[in-house]
Chains A and B, each alone.
Chain A
Amino acid sequence: MNPASPIRIQGIHYTLPEKQVGLEQLSAEGRLLSTPETMRDFGFGDCRVSSVPATVLASATVKALLERHGVEPGEVGLLINASVLPTSSLVPRGEALAEFPSGESAHLGLFRFSSTRIQDELGLINARTVGLSELGCVSLSHAVWLAHAVMLMEDLKYAVCVNADVFPDGIKREVVYNVCSDSACAVLLSRNPEGMHLKRYHTLTRGYYWDPDGHQNELLAAYFPTGKRVLEKTFKESGLAREDIKLLVPHNVSLRSWEILSRFTGIPLEKIYTENIRPKGHSVAADNWINLKDVIDRGLVSKGDHVMMFSFGLGAHWGCSIVQV
């Protein structure tokens, strides 16, 4: 990435549904694969469950973000809606939280896109809208990276990236030993020099793992060695060392996996912000950004500090960035 880039991350806003569901209840509803004890042992507690569809969470979150930063809807040149679950990018009909269209007009249901609905609802009349998919948990980070590039290319003033996911009723909430929450998180990019600087984003895609069911055993074996290499590569490309990083801001996969990755990489667990895993669960693609906002709000990092954000998305994608607050 060009170190002289004027693009900055100006703000983050997130929405977590208030409804919290415990592990026992999830298990009783058949939404876990492992036992509640195992999930608790892995560091999980409650998960958040939305009562509105992803598109509603997304637009409310973007609206609040723009208002907070005094950005007029018409000033936004790019909106990227980066949802993980295919159902989250479609606007459901009727009362459904999420639906995969069926029936006579199913074909048209497949074109009820959330990104354009958000543009319409919020009056983002100058925003080109993009729906980003198939990136699993790196969706929002990839969206920020792409928005950064498009802003430079198109000379845009503002771009907004949003991720919102709501798990359809009845579907498992345990994904490869992680308890998933519904959430939305939006990131505002601008040219305001006061914002945070995305200094490096290293990504890696290993298409072999496209089938998380069929190749899960290999994936479990590759997860830590690959994570270690991605992290090391990011340090190398950024010219920074472990000591230069104030905090590693993770995605909320199991605390256990962070304990192990911490040992593989030599980054002490105390330097990894894992406090949100138990109360908030794994918000699929939003965790890194939710956690980044929280560590800033809690004063755990200050202006000028470097943080590293690491995430892994089924597919499989690894994404690791360094942001200067």
Chain B
Amino acid sequence: MNLLMTGITGAVGMEMARWLAANAPRARVFALIRAASPVVLKARWSKLAAKLWPEGQRPEEGRFVPVLGDITRPGLGLSPEDAERLAGEVTHVIHSAANVELDAPLEEARLCNVEGTRHVFEVVRTFRRLERAAYVSTLFVAGRRPGLFRETDFEHEAGFVNPYEQSKYETEVYVRGLMKELPLAQFRLAYLIGRDTGEVTRYNSMHALLRLLHEGHVGAFPGTPETLMELSSNDYAAAALLTLFREHFQPGRTFHIGSGARGLPLQDFIDISAEVSAETEPRWRQGAFLPPDIVDEDTYTLLRRTLLQTQNKKSHEVIRLGDTMYGHLTASQVFDCQPVQELLGERVPLPPVRELLRDVLRHCMATNWGRNRS
């Protein structure tokens, strides 16, 4: 397989690269990476390879080929030579690159996610040997749609919690249109919080929330104690996606990769966060910081309005972050991930989400949320 991958420097992309190096010895990967020049591209790749594989365990030369490109540019900004090479050699595509900032303005999110995806598949159309392609999406295209969300659920009018997921939803609309002409499937992922070891490779909004909680700035969550949080690990997402892509590919299908009904109840999320925070922060042990309460939506709305009327910047930060995420809690969503779990069985087991959260939080605390890394 000659695979074109976008987003290899991202949380999901890095894990897919590791998985491919370990499990697909015959695969050749063209990794589309943005860079100011070929020199910078080379440097980025070297740095990434050093991060992904310890010295002596690097895949042999030529298995991973960095290609300079930017998905926001028509033709991906490929050089004519690269464009021609990809068109003649690539058999498989996984498009994972995206702007995943939950609070990016909608136009910015659309530029990378909707337009970027359009640019990717316009190039993919030129691939003469294309066998299959994957688009990486998110379970949260469900937006504010309440209840069970299945692989076969697409359009809805429930609205969105943040511009990111709206842009991913709009991208799906485009991708589903493409399925008529390309051998294409899409993979919706859960919220990924780190590697199975607890290591966090890219910090996202969930880590920002964990930090504010750890520092005693979060007083309440909307929802119920049983509300499920759809969290998973980067390793699981990568292994599941690639196993499905290689062994269970069905053009036109949408796959749900996540914990589903085995997700983490909100109360457990809070309790674990408080318990782990107390390992290093005496304020938790002394009771100065308390686990946030879970309150109904009306109470949260009143609290939110009140805090926004104060001049407390941290409180505003908590509210703004919550605004990009909590809508999923109040919609009481459950993502149907059973079909994929059945397909994969014990070959790709679900990560134990409680331990995962514990390890991720410990990693965050040990590295001061990534600031202390050497």
Are A33 and B298 interface neighbours, CB within 8 A? no
A61 CB to nearest chain B CB (Å): 34
Distance A217 CA – B312 CA, assembled complex (angstroms):
6
A-B contact pairs, 23 of them (CB 8 A): A33-B311, A34-B311, A41-B309, A206-B288, A207-B288, A217-B314, A218-B216, A218-B288, A218-B289, A221-B219, A222-B216, A222-B219, A222-B289, A224-B220, A225-B290, A225-B291, A225-B292, A226-B290, A228-B293, A260-B302, A263-B296, A263-B298, A263-B299
Contact partner of B318 (CB less than 8 A), chosen from A33, A38, A221, is: A221
Are A220 and B307 interface neighbours, CB within 8 A? yes
Are B309 and A225 interface neighbours, CB within 8 A? no
Using Cβ atoms and an 8 Å threshold, which residues of chain B touch A218? 215-217, 288-289, 314
A177 CB to nearest chain B CB (Å): 6
A-facing residues in B250-307 (Cβ within 8 Å): 283, 286-293, 295-296, 298-299, 302-303, 306-307
7 more CB-based (< 8 A) A-B contacts, given A221-B217, A225-B219: A177-B310, A217-B217, A217-B313, A218-B215, A218-B289, A225-B291, A225-B292
Distance A222 CA – B292 CA, assembled complex (angstroms):
8
Q: Which residue of A lies closest to B317 (CB)?
A: A217
Distance A207 CA – B282 CA, assembled complex (angstroms):
12
Are B309 and A224 interface neighbours, CB within 8 A? no
Are A206 and B314 interface neighbours, CB within 8 A? no
Q: Does B315 contact A (CB under 8 A)?
A: yes
Q: Does A259 contact B (CB under 8 A)?
A: yes
Q: Given A41-B309, A42-B309, check contact A260 B291 (CB 8 Å).
A: no
Q: Which residue of B lies closest to A38 (CB)?
A: B309
A199 CB to nearest chain B CB (Å): 25
Are B303 and A224 interface neighbours, CB within 8 A? yes
0 or 1 for each of B192-231: is its CB under 8 Å from A? (1 = yes): 0000000000000000000000011111100000000000
8 shortest A-B CB distances, which residue pairs?
A: A217-B314, A208-B288, A221-B219, A263-B299, A218-B216, A225-B290, A206-B288, A225-B293
A295 CB to nearest chain B CB (Å): 25
Distance A220 CA – B314 CA, assembled complex (angstroms):
10
Q: Which of B216, B220, B288 has the most CB of A within 10 A?
A: B288
Are A259 and B216 interface neighbours, CB within 8 A? no
Categorize the interface residue count of chain A.
20 to 34
0 or 1 for each of B1-36: is its CB under 8 Å from A? (1 = yes): 000000000000000000000000000000000000
Using Cβ atoms and an 8 Å threshold, which residues of chain B touch A38? 309
Using Cβ atoms and an 8 Å threshold, which residues of chain A touch B217? 217-218, 221
Are B315 and A220 interface neighbours, CB within 8 A? yes
Give the interface SS of chain A, mostly helix, strand, loop or mixed: helix
Are B302 and A223 interface neighbours, CB within 8 A? no
Q: Given A217-B315, A263-B302, check contact A224 B293 (CB 8 Å).
A: yes
Q: Does A25 contact B (CB under 8 A)?
A: no
Q: Which residue of B lies closest to A228 (CB)?
A: B293
Contact partner of B216 (CB less than 8 A), chosen from A221, A224, A260, A263, is: A221
Using Cβ atoms and an 8 Å threshold, which residues of chain A touch B315? 217, 220-221
Using Cβ atoms and an 8 Å threshold, which residues of chain B touch A259? 302
B-facing residues in A25-53 (Cβ within 8 Å): 33-34, 38, 41-42
B-facing residues in A199-230 (Cβ within 8 Å): 206-209, 216-218, 220-226, 228-229
Q: Which residue of A lies closest to B316 (CB)?
A: A217
Are B290 and A229 interface neighbours, CB within 8 A? yes
Using Cβ atoms and an 8 Å threshold, which residues of chain B touch A220? 219, 307, 310, 312, 315
Using Cβ atoms and an 8 Å threshold, which residues of chain A touch B219? 220-225
Q: Given A206-B287, A221-B218, A224-B303, check contact A264 B309 (CB 8 Å).
A: no
Contact partner of B306 (CB less than 8 A), chosen from A216, A221, A256, is: A256
Q: Which residue of A lies closest to B220 (CB)?
A: A224
Q: Which residue of B lies closest to A218 (CB)?
A: B216
Using Cβ atoms and an 8 Å threshold, which residues of chain B touch A260? 299, 302-303, 306
Q: Which residue of B lies closest to A226 (CB)?
A: B290
Distance A83 CA – B303 CA, assembled complex (angstroms):
31
B288 CB to nearest chain A CB (Å): 4
Are A264 and B286 interface neighbours, CB within 8 A? no
Are B215 and A264 interface neighbours, CB within 8 A? no
Distance A218 CA – B318 CA, assembled complex (angstroms):
11
Contact partner of A209 (CB less than 8 A), chosen from B288, B295, B306, B307, is: B288
Using Cβ atoms and an 8 Å threshold, which residues of chain B touch A206? 286-288
B315 CB to nearest chain A CB (Å): 5
Q: Given A38-B309, A221-B318, check contact A208 B293 (CB 8 Å).
A: no
B-facing residues in A259-278 (Cβ within 8 Å): 259-260, 263-264
Using Cβ atoms and an 8 Å threshold, which residues of chain B touch A207? 288
Q: Which residue of B lies closest to A207 (CB)?
A: B288
Q: Which residue of B lies closest to A209 (CB)?
A: B288
Using Cβ atoms and an 8 Å threshold, which residues of chain A touch B216? 218, 221-222
Distance A216 CA – B371 CA, assembled complex (angstroms):
25
Using Cβ atoms and an 8 Å threshold, which residues of chain B touch A216? 312
A46 CB to nearest chain B CB (Å): 20
Q: Which residue of A lies closest to B303 (CB)?
A: A260
Distance A172 CA – B315 CA, assembled complex (angstroms):
22
Using Cβ atoms and an 8 Å threshold, which residues of chain B touch A208? 283, 286, 288
Using Cβ atoms and an 8 Å threshold, which residues of chain A touch B310? 34, 177, 220
Q: Given A206-B288, A208-B286, A225-B219, check contact A264 B293 (CB 8 Å).
A: yes
Distance A239 CA – B220 CA, assembled complex (angstroms):
28
A266 CB to nearest chain B CB (Å): 11
Are B299 and A264 interface neighbours, CB within 8 A? yes
Are B288 and A222 interface neighbours, CB within 8 A? yes
Distance A209 CA – B289 CA, assembled complex (angstroms):
10
Using Cβ atoms and an 8 Å threshold, which residues of chain B touch A209? 288
Q: Which residue of B lies closest to A224 (CB)?
A: B219
Q: Which residue of B lies closest to A39 (CB)?
A: B309
A51 CB to nearest chain B CB (Å): 31
A129 CB to nearest chain B CB (Å): 34
A-facing residues in B124-160 (Cβ within 8 Å): none
Distance A263 CA – B313 CA, assembled complex (angstroms):
24
